[in-house]
Structure 1
Amino acid sequence: MLGELNKKEIVDLLKSQFIGRLGCHANGETYIVPINYVYQNNAIYAHSGEGKKIEMLRKNPRVCFQVDEVESMFKWKSAILWGTFEELKDMERQQAMQGLILRIMPNTNDPGRDPSHAISPELRNSLIVYRINIEEGTGRFEFHEEQ
């Protein structure tokens, strides 16, 4: 059976996952990249070093975010969301980073590592912490009862 996820099911999917794909577009180019995230209060929180993604997000803050849960070819859920990128500062930045650490660390194979993704310690304070304010979304699923 194919179907649509309702809002609660989309939120449950967002809360259950911690890796999604962020799509951005600037200067006639589209870029899609996987990110670690945490979902809270109708927003996606993530972090990044400087680079192509951040450059593009600053030029055009309108984004698309996709997350899925795939158990098999015929049992999956997927949601696509649209929203706006916003860099976080000061206390809000610190709180979001703490939330990311708490969400990501239990899902690593090496709990002694932090979610800085090989960014040197002297550059960690320059990490960009951001929020995607979700404005709309849609979700689909496929599920077949075993016979």
Structure 2
Amino acid sequence: MRRADRAQDRDFCLSVIDRCTHGVAALTTGEDTPYCLPLSFVRVGNSLYFHCAREGRKVELLKRCPRICITFVAQDDPNFEAPNNYTTYFQSAIVTGTVVLVEDDQEKVDGLRALCQKLTPQYMTEGLFNAAIQHSLSVTSVWRVDMDDLSGKAKKKR
């Protein structure tokens, strides 16, 4: 990292991930073309979980190459610092890791429960969540990202 004074520690990175409702995942197509897409993530320990349909371009790419890089931005505050200086105050984290398709139904449910608890806690009564699981589990794939590396960066107001 060029600006070592802006580098942040692991706890900062985990905090950024936990505060974000989504991250932008970068995958490789194998054709020297990147493929990036926003996804909703939840962190459970040293792993991230996301869900998607059971087929599609993303699934094909993940099966071909399970390496992933995800960018999270928890703060993005463009500003003007006098005199004559435009800047942005920010907090971000980048994760690299390996993606694993979750096959175990209990781990799938646990991952989805954690994701729903993070994003929609007001709808987490057992009846609502269980009905959604009954309706969607068989057509939903859940993926786990085992995090290999974290880096964080921030520019704070002076």
TM-score (norm 1): 0.82
Identify which of 95, 105, 113 aligns with 1:98: 113
- Structure 1, unpaired ranges of 5+: 115-120
In the alignment, residue 68 of structure 1 is paired with which amino acid?
A: V
Q: Does 1:69 align with 2:74?
A: yes
Deviation track 1:111-135 (CA, whole Å, cap 9, x = no partner) reads xx98xxxxxx966522110111000
Q: Return the structure number with greater helix share.
A: 2
Q: How does 1:76-115 map to 2 (within 5 A)?
A: 76-89=90-103, 90-106=105-121
Q: What corresponds to 1:138 in structure 2?
A: 151
Who is 1:30 aligned against? 34
Distance in structure 2 (CA, Å) of the matches to 1:141 and 1:40: 23
1:91 deviates by 1.0
State the one-letter code of the partner of 1:140.
K
What SS class does the counterpart of residue 144 from structure 1 fall into? coil
Per-residue deviation, residues 15-74 of structure 1 (Å, max 9, x unmatched): 111210111113213210000110111111000012111110010001101101124122
Which aligned pairs between 1:39-78 and structure 2 lie closer than 5 A? 39-49=43-53, 50-73=55-78, 74-78=88-92
Equivalent residue number for residue 82 of structure 2: none
* TM-score normalized by the length of structure 2: 0.77
Q: Which residue of 2 aligns with 1:5?
A: 8
Tell me how many residue pairs correspond in the alignment.
Answer: 135
For 1:54 and 1:95, the matched residues in 2 are separated by 21
Rg: which structure is higher? Answer: 2
Q: 1:25 to 1:133 in 2, by over 3 A?
A: same
Corresponding residue SS for 1:83 = strand
What corresponds to 1:118 in structure 2?
A: none
Moved more, 99-108 or 71-80: 99-108
What's the RMSD between the two structures over aligned residues? 2.3
Over the matched positions of the two proteins, sequence identity in percent amounts to: 20
